Amino acid sequence: MLQRGQASNYRFECNKDKLSRDRFWGDNMRMSQLYAPTLREVPAEAEIVSHQLLLRAGLVRRISAGIYTYLPLGYRTLRKIMDIIREEMDKTGAQELMLPVIQPAELWHETGRWFDYGDEMMKVVDRHGRYFALGPTHEEVITDLVRSEINSYRQLPVVMYQIQNKYRDEIRPRFGLLRGREFVMKDAYSFDRDYDGLDCSYRTMYEAYQRIFARCGLDARPVEADSGAIGGTDTHEFMVICDDVGEADIAHCDNCGYAANVEKAISAFTPGPKVVVEEGSPRVVDTPEKRTITEVADFLSVPVTHLIKALVYIAGDRPVMAVVRGDHEVNEVKLARHLEVLEVELADSSVVEQVTGAPVGFGGPINLPEEIPVIVDREVMELRDAVCGANSLDQHYVGVEPWRDFPQVEVADIRMVTAGDPCPKCNAPLSVAPGIEVGQVFKLGTKYSQAMNATYLDESGKEQPLVMGCYGIGVSRTLAAVIEKHHDDDGIIWPVSIAPYHVIVVPVNWKDAEQKTTAEELYQRMQELGIEVILDDRDERPGVKFKDADLIGIPIRIVVGRSVKDGKVEFKLRWEEKAELVELSAVIDKVSEIVHTAR
């Protein structure tokens, strides 16, 4: 046992660790050897910038729809993202493990998800005719693991994570790594005694996610989201706002920071006084062939805000009618939540005719068969003297007073918020922007532990279900999102923290002995310091070398040219316009400073 003040060899051990880790990374590469087949042309298959650059810079190659090989440069960056994730997960006390990709169908039958998960699940059959899933997610597998080993409150809480390929037979794999069928995910699962414990695990993960994305150079904002089919209560998605390729719309308030997926977003709403209109009834008018909201509004010279839009949906197995103001859209997720079904689907025209007695475009909530539930958005109830379909061909009602004419309806918030709606927290106008979901944290509660009988004994010896959370990061999607946010016309601009290499040394003329020797020396010295460096040793024109360096996005470029005679080299950061001449003696310090600050 060491005594206080006695020297230990701890520092030495520590240094040794660091060296071996650096060696694992491989600090150096000669451009002539690097397997990075760059392309000059934009590949026709790639619609969006990140996909184009992933292919052009030689980071990935496609083997089938939504399935990719990571080439050395792409894989280095992917591994750096994984390392950041590992560091931040480990810091929280989460433990890394590796669950199997191939999962027996029986586990999924226990939760009912073998069928509920739907066509996205990739299935395989073994030689005995037994079915397996290629893991799209791992709640069942990890719950099965802990139910046999965790039995006391003393073993809780526990959080475990893995980084692994996931398989989802996406209906539309697209956008390169943004929506693949095989993709890399970090998934973590927390097990707590109770909901207070879950709140704490959730908060810890949420904060770790903020650090992870910031370290990767991404501004990913946590937004409130719908808990959907997976079940559970609170959930946040981490969204990178991206006008060109965002697949989900986010409503956000720049005044107070409120942010929510539009599926979930609400706006401030103060109902007006309830209008009592005793007398009268709406009048039927002819609206020949006027089906759409704008056609009817133009024809009757009424603003669209005074029209009432009625849509027939199938919810579960029954038809329902959803009613919103003419200028609003139905939020199908809110509608499904209100009806307590997994999802709703627009009915086809034959169902619409059966339900309303009229073709599409002329339906409305007045005089519908009683058994059809009608859900009316709360803002429709504020209208006076409005217009809606009359449930008969080429006819609408005018003079509609919702409080008088819609007696049997359910009133709820079922509309999509739009830009400019008042924020539910502070009333400032909301903005709506498309975003890329790079991660999601989820309070599952006891959904899986109850279905799979995963319990523990509490302090009084009573059996309780484990309280769970799950936390995902799309690792390969994060890589693509970084490129979406960090590029210019010439190529990728990697943040130093995840760049495949930190520096590229470019001798202008490889045949010039002094340039070559200096470049080799710089290359050698930087390797010794653990700086990851590429030496462009090709006998190519400088223009070609510069183009490649820009395309693959190496953050620091050192050009060894004629001024080496005066003891100077050119130093340029990928994101800056101008290069500067730097004394050879100072250049490595300058590089080290940048690399170490980024780590």
State the residue number with the nearest CB to Mg ion. Answer: 440
Peptide bond into 157 cis (omega under 30): yes
Contact between 137 and 164 under an 8 Å Cβ cutoff? The reply is no
User: How far, in Å, CA of 467 to CA of 112, rounded?
Assistant: 19
- DSSP, collapsed to helix, strand or coil, labels residue 49 as helix
- DSSP, collapsed to helix, strand or coil, labels residue 414 as coil
| Distance from chain centroid for Cα 241 | 10
Contacted entry of Mg ion, ligand ATP, none for residue 180, CB cut-off 5 to 8 Å set by kind: ligand ATP
183 binds ligand ATP (CB under 6 A): yes
The one among 58, 157, 180, 217 contacting ligand ATP by CB under 6 A: 180
Contact between 51 and 492 under an 8 Å Cβ cutoff? The reply is no
Could you list the residues that contact Mg ion (CB under 5 A)?
Answer: 440
* Sequence-ordered list of residues with C-beta below 8 angstroms from that of 47, at least 6 positions apart, any chain: 174, 175
User: How far, in Å, CA of 399 to CA of 403, rounded?
Assistant: 12
438 binds ligand ATP (CB under 6 A): yes
170 binds ligand ATP (CB under 6 A): yes
Shortest Cβ 477–ligand ATP spacing (Å): 4
Amino acid identity at 232: G
437 binds ligand ATP (CB under 6 A): yes
Nearer to ligand ATP, 201 or 476 (CB): 476
Neighbours of 275 (CB within 10 A): 13
261 binds ligand ATP (CB under 6 A): no
483 binds ligand ATP (CB under 6 A): no
440 binds ligand ATP (CB under 6 A): yes
Strand-strand pairing, 431-445 and 374-377: unpaired
Shortest Cβ 150–ligand ATP spacing (Å): 24
51 binds ligand ATP (CB under 6 A): no
The one among 79, 174, 179, 443 contacting ligand ATP by CB under 6 A: 179
Nearer to ligand ATP, 184 or 551 (CB): 184
Total chain residues near ligand ATP (CB under 6 A)? 15
Nearer to Mg ion, 46 or 441 (CB): 441
Contacted entry of ligand ATP, Mg ion, none for residue 439, CB cut-off 5 to 8 Å set by kind: ligand ATP
* Sequence-ordered list of residues with C-beta below 8 angstroms from that of 113, at least 6 positions apart, any chain: 140
Strand-strand pairing, 344-346 and 318-325: unpaired
State the residue number with the nearest CB to ligand ATP. Answer: 474
The one among 469, 474, 507, 555 contacting ligand ATP by CB under 6 A: 474
Q: Which stretch binds ligand ATP (CB under 6 A): 423-431, 472-480, 505-513, 591-599?
A: 472-480
User: How far, in Å, CA of 26 to CA of 37, rounded?
Assistant: 20
Shortest Cβ 235–ligand ATP spacing (Å): 9
The one among 135, 326, 439, 561 contacting ligand ATP by CB under 6 A: 439
DSSP state for residue 307 in the 8-state scheme: B
Contact between 132 and 123 under an 8 Å Cβ cutoff? The reply is yes
Write out the binding residues for ligand ATP, residues 130-169 only, by CB under 6 A.
137, 168
Nearer to ligand ATP, 477 or 574 (CB): 477
Contacted entry of ligand ATP, Mg ion, none for residue 474, CB cut-off 5 to 8 Å set by kind: ligand ATP
DSSP string, 148-196: HH--BGGG--EEEEEEEEEE---SS-BTGGGB-SEEEEEEEEEEESSHH
- Which residues would be at the binding site for ligand ATP (CB under 6 A)? 137, 168, 170, 179-180, 183, 185, 437-440, 472, 474, 476-477
